[in-house]
Amino acid sequence: MAEVDGVGVPVDEPLLRCTDVNISFAQRGKAERFHAVRDASLEVGSADIVGLVGESGSGKSTLARAIVGLQRIDSGAIEFQGRPFGRTRTAEDRRGIQMIFQDPFGSLDPRMKIRSALAEIIRRHTPLRGKQIDARCAELMDMVQLPRSILSSRPAGMSGGQRQRVAIARALSINPRLLVADEPVAALDVSVQAGIVNLLSDLRRDVGLSILFISHDLSIVRTLCDSVNVIYRGDIVESRPCAELFDDPRSDYTRTLLSAIPRLNGPRTEGLAQGQSLGARRR
């Protein structure tokens, strides 16, 4: 009998599997649909960090939205924890996969203090109540390496890096197995990017979180990810372990992307632009 993990998924099976996913959109004034994602297949294993990279408009965010249930697919299959998603998703499905975005401000109510925002989600999706919720909010601040005093703040009074950490805490509040991170550091300064990259790596190590990390910046992907999927005009043109892809890219498009990265030949910790240390924290 195959060995299974804590939720009954065989350990040799991926946590997330996308198979031949197609997504298209109607175009105004045209009979032909725009094909945003074409026969895309990728996998994310338990406690893996997998990159999905491509230029703007390549289809990476559209595929990410489909994975979390925000976008319907035309054909293909998306499986999570060994089960295919149907047209509608169960509450368990929605809890299992959470998403963070480039602009965390859009997912935070500017009128609410952070404690209230977190408590609302915890109350809705978990059995915790009263002081248990307060303790969970404090624990979440510790997990994302923010001072607990942030719980009394509102989003407008926080830095961009702090808001992104709060968005991560919000996603973690209901104990997902997979975090889909859509360009989570693109709007941040390089020094702040390093802290968020470190945090995501720590969460994988400490709580076994799986992460699909979406970016146009291969230097950051090189620093963080175990494997990389390269998407071009909706097609995944290359899917390889990170070290193999950077050492020996096979597709012309991947080679073009790699040629645009400065200082690519440095060590992996130089993957962040200008050699920013990965020790940067809490910004």
Tell me the pLDDT band of 156, cut-offs 50, 70 and 90.
Answer: very high
Q: What's the half-sphere exposure (Cβ side, CA atoms, 13 Å) at 224?
A: 34
pLDDT in tens, 242-257: 999 999 999 999 999 9
Tokens at 162, concatenated: 């702090």
- Name the residue among 160, 159, 179 with its Cα closest to residue 169: 179
Cβ distance 196 to 185 under 8 Å? Answer: yes
Tokens at 231, concatenated: 């998407």
pTM across the whole model:
0.88
**What does the alpha-carbon distance between residue 69 and residue 176 come to, in Å, rounded to a whole number?**
14
pLDDT in tens, 27-70: 998 989 999 999 999 999 999 999 999 999 999 999 999 999 99
**What does the alpha-carbon distance between residue 101 and residue 269 come to, in Å, rounded to a whole number?**
24
- Name the residue among 266, 229, 279 with its Cα closest to residue 60: 229
Integer angstrom CA distances of residue 86 from 111, 147, 153: 36, 40, 39
pLDDT in tens, 161-179: 999 999 999 999 999 999 9
**Poorest-confidence range of 87-96, 130-139, 181-190?**
87-96
Residue 6 predicted with pLDDT over 60: no
User: In the chain, what are the domains?
Assistant: 33-257 (3.40.50.300)
Between 252 and 276, whose confidence is greater? Answer: 252
**Strands ordered across the beta sheet of 75-80:** 30-44, 16-27, 75-80, 83-84
Tokens at 212, concatenated: 């699909």
What local confidence, expressed as pLDDT, does residue 180 receive?
98
